Structure 1
Amino acid sequence: MKTLVIVTHPSIETSAINKRWVEELKKHPEKYTVHELSKVYPDGNIDVDKEQKLVESHGDLVLQFPVYWFNCPPLLKKWFDDVLVYGWAYGSNGGDKLKNRKVALAVSAGIIKEDYSENGRYHYTLEQILVPFETTFRYCNADYRSPFAFYGKENEPGGNQEEENGLGSIQLEKSAQDYLDFVDNL
């Protein structure tokens, strides 16, 4: 079965990493379905039945997003709240749609890796910050996998966007290939 990649980015057109990852995934429609929540639901009104059927019709599930205030973008949080409901994602009344399904996160951190450490700027690792996602999927009996992360520099005013993110074209291309390898080897 194909892998479903749910992408949530509030401004993917201005993204370097997430945009490039989506472009690379879309080169392989036989392997991946790229589902961009912000494009499908610009008004934020999620069609729960459609989303549940989409998840059910795929194998592995990857949620791709930028770390947004040390969490996910609001539309993805709404997707969690609306779609992962009792009786479907968890619970004694047929809530097994994620059971044993491989699930992973693919995130762009926007901050250098050293800042995500006990002695770093934010005092927590990225894995620690993402624990609520892991806990959610474990609660749903999914087979949660370690996240794929791209660390970069915070934006500074002025200059070239790619340079501001600390990205050269070689690094950007390598991240796209590493991402595909990650998804293929869940």
Structure 2
Amino acid sequence: MKTLIIAAHPNIDESVINKRWLTELRKYPDQCTIHILSKHYPDGQIDVEREHRLVESHGSLIFQFPIYWFSSPPLLKTWFDEVLTHGWAYGRNGGDKLEGRKVALAVTTGVRAEDYSTEGRYHYTLAQLLAPFETTLRYYCRADCQPFFAFYGAEIVPGEDYHSTAEEIERSAENYARFVASLS
């Protein structure tokens, strides 16, 4: 079965990395389905039944999003709150729709990897910041959580002579496509 990419970027048309990743994945329609939440739900009103059917018709899942205030964009939080329902995603009576499925996160950050370390600017690792997602998916939904895929440094860092190069962005898109293929 194909992998469902649930992309949650608040402004995908203005994105650099997330948009490039999706462009790369479109080369492999036999491997994945791209589902951009903001395109389907511009008003933020999620069709839960539609989302349930979409998830059920795919094998593995990837939640792709930029780190947004050290979490996910609001629409993805809404998706989790509304779609991961008791009796469907968790619970004793039928709450098994994600059980055993490979699930991963693919995230982009606007800063360098070293900023996400106990000694870095934020004093937390990216794995620590993503732990609530893994905890929800692994322990409540009993999904087979896979390691996350990350791109660091998409932005020009204020006051510093640093930004992602075109080569880094291209390499990340190719690596992401391989990551997606590995979940099949």
TM-score band by shorter chain is over 0.9
Kept in 1, the 8 Å contact 2:60–2:102? The answer is yes
By how many angstroms is 1:155 displaced? 3.8
Kept in 2, the 8 Å contact 1:110–1:165? The answer is no
**SS in structure 2 at match of 1:80:** helix
- Let me know the Cα RMSD of the aligned residues: 1.3
CA distance in structure 1 between the partners assigned to 2:115 and 2:179 by the alignment: 23
Structure 1 residue 54 and structure 2 residue 54: aligned? yes
**SS in structure 2 at match of 1:178:** helix
Per the normalisation by structure 1, the TM-score is 0.93
Per the normalisation by structure 2, the TM-score is 0.94
By how many angstroms is 1:45 displaced? 0.4
Report the counterpart of residue 132 of structure 1 in structure 2: 132
Kept in 2, the 8 Å contact 1:2–1:32? The answer is yes
**SS in structure 2 at match of 1:130:** helix
Kept in 2, the 8 Å contact 1:7–1:36? The answer is yes
Report the counterpart of residue 182 of structure 2 in structure 1: 185
CA distance in structure 1 between the partners assigned to 2:162 and 2:134 by the alignment: 27
Aligned partner of 1:133: which letter? F
Report the counterpart of residue 119 of structure 2 in structure 1: 119
**Identity of aligned pairs, percent?**
61
Runs of 4+ aligned structure 1 residues displaced above 4 Å come to none
Kept in 1, the 8 Å contact 2:86–2:95? The answer is yes
The change in CA–CA distance for 1:10 and 1:73 in structure 2 (over 3 A counts) is: same
Aligned partner of 1:75: which letter? L
CA distance in structure 1 between the partners assigned to 2:35 and 2:151 by the alignment: 20
By how many angstroms is 1:20 displaced? 0.1
Count of residues paired in the alignment: 180
By how many angstroms is 1:154 displaced? 4.1
Q: How does 1:15-94 map to 2 (within 5 A)?
A: 15-94=15-94
By how many angstroms is 1:165 displaced? 7.2
Report the counterpart of residue 161 of structure 1 in structure 2: none
Aligned partner of 2:164: which letter? L
CA distance in structure 2 between the partners assigned to 1:96 and 1:33 by the alignment: 22
* Offset from partner CA, 1:38-90 (integer Å, 9 cap, x none): 00000000000000000000001000000000000000000000000100000
Report the counterpart of residue 166 of structure 1 in structure 2: 163
Aligned partner of 1:8: which letter? A
List runs of 5+ in structure 1 lacking aligned partners: 158-163
Report the counterpart of residue 147 of structure 1 in structure 2: 148
By how many angstroms is 1:167 displaced? 2.1
